[in-house]
Amino acid sequence: MRIAFIGLGNMGGPMAANLVSAGHEVHGFDLAEPAMERAAGLGVQPAHSPAAACRGAEAVITMLPAGQHVDDVYTGQDGVLAALPRATLLVDASTIDVATARELAARAGVDGHQMLDAPVSGGVTGAENATLTFMVGGDQDAFEAARPLFDGMGSKAVLAGGPGAGQAAKACNNMLLGISMIGLAEAFTLGERLGIKPETLFAISSAASGCSWAMLHHLPVPGIVETSSANRDFEPGFAAAMMLKDLTLAQEAAAETGTATPLGSLAQGLYGEFVEGGGGGLDYAAVIRLIQARSGPGRA
């Protein structure tokens, strides 16, 4: 397929490169020159504007920081929606708010395009290794048409429902992940102060009812779980600032739907405090440092 790829950052760059490796013709655009150069080195053909990347494209993929950027690229002053031939397949893989995803899909439909929201899980490693999971919202037809793209960039794609359902699933999943990580940070800090070695608590809890995905993969203490960022001074991984963004999106969705999410709200507050204190660039597991800092000296 001939593909326009807009947003060639940490995630988009390797995703576009994997589409090239899968045999697609990819024309890429990013506002940042270094991102353009890196992608060009990986076989992506550089375009000088989003419109230039989209010329003749059968599919457009966006991988941008937030809803405002995605909205600008599609419907802003030089937005690509108006310039595309009818019935182009549009896939927004960015993590954005549900409301913007739904509005954009409706707007694209008016111009005769099919649009999917398809946020991902798997991080930069998943983007590089083409092992991302896509959570997709939109029509079944568009989902099937986009399969070769998902296959080129990931190992799993799940259609969650209509427009916005992919973003909704991502918001729920990451709210759960953020809450789980704070729970782990609290339990392992408390355990240590009660005299239980982290490796002992892990051996017990990982085989008991307290077990979670976050515990098995991202335990916030070093030396136990190989894939944990705690072994590398909390180098991300999945940055705490990104977790804060996702928790904020979940809180917006909760407010819009009148859903009570007290733990989600608390998690957003704690990650907010951690990011404000300078931790935004660390892995989200580093939130254990906030819990440790808030804890008293403990009993000898």
Residues that bind ligand NAD (CB under 6 A): 6-12, 29-32, 35, 63-65, 69, 72-73, 94-95, 120, 123-124, 238, 242
Smaller CB distance to ligand NAD: residue 98 or 201?
A: 98
Alpha-carbon distance of 28 to 3, in angstroms, equals: 8
Measured from the CB atom, is 120 or 187 closer to ligand NAD? 120
Angle at alpha carbon of residue 109, lines to 108 and 111, rounded to 5°: 70
Catalytic residue, chosen from 156, 170, 197, 245, is 170
CB of 216 to ligand NAD, least distance (A): 19
Minimum distance, C-beta of residue 24 to ligand NAD, in the bound complex (Å): 19
Task: Give me the residue whose beta carbon is nearest to ligand NAD.
Answer: 9
* φ, ψ of residue 204 in degrees (nearest 5): -75, -55
75 neighbors 81 (Cβ within 8 angstroms): yes
How many CB atoms within 10 Å of residue 155?
14
The smaller minimum CB distance to ligand NAD, of residues 118 and 142, is found at 118
Using alpha carbons, select from 276, 190, 280 the residue that is nearest to residue 236: 280
Count of H-run helices and E-run strands, the chain: 14, 9
Active-site residue flag, 170: yes
3-state secondary structure 63-84: CCCCHHHHHHHHHCCCCCCCCC
CA–CA distances in Å: residue 77 to residues 93, 236, 262: 22, 35, 39
Smallest CA-to-CA distance from 119 within 59, 58, 168 is with 168
In the complex, minimum distance from the CB of residue 242 to ligand NAD, in angstroms, rounded to a whole number: 5
Minimum distance from residue 130 beta carbon to ligand NAD (Å)? 14
Instruction: Give min distance, CB of 219 to ligand NAD, in A.
Output: 18
In a 10 Å sphere around its CB, with 0-12 CB exposed, 13-18 middle and 19+ buried, how is residue 132 labelled?
A: buried
11 vs 290 by CB, closer to ligand NAD: 11
Q: Is 188 helix (H, G, I), strand (E, B) or coil?
A: helix
Nearest to ligand NAD of 19, 201 (CB atom): 19
Residues taking part in catalysis? 170
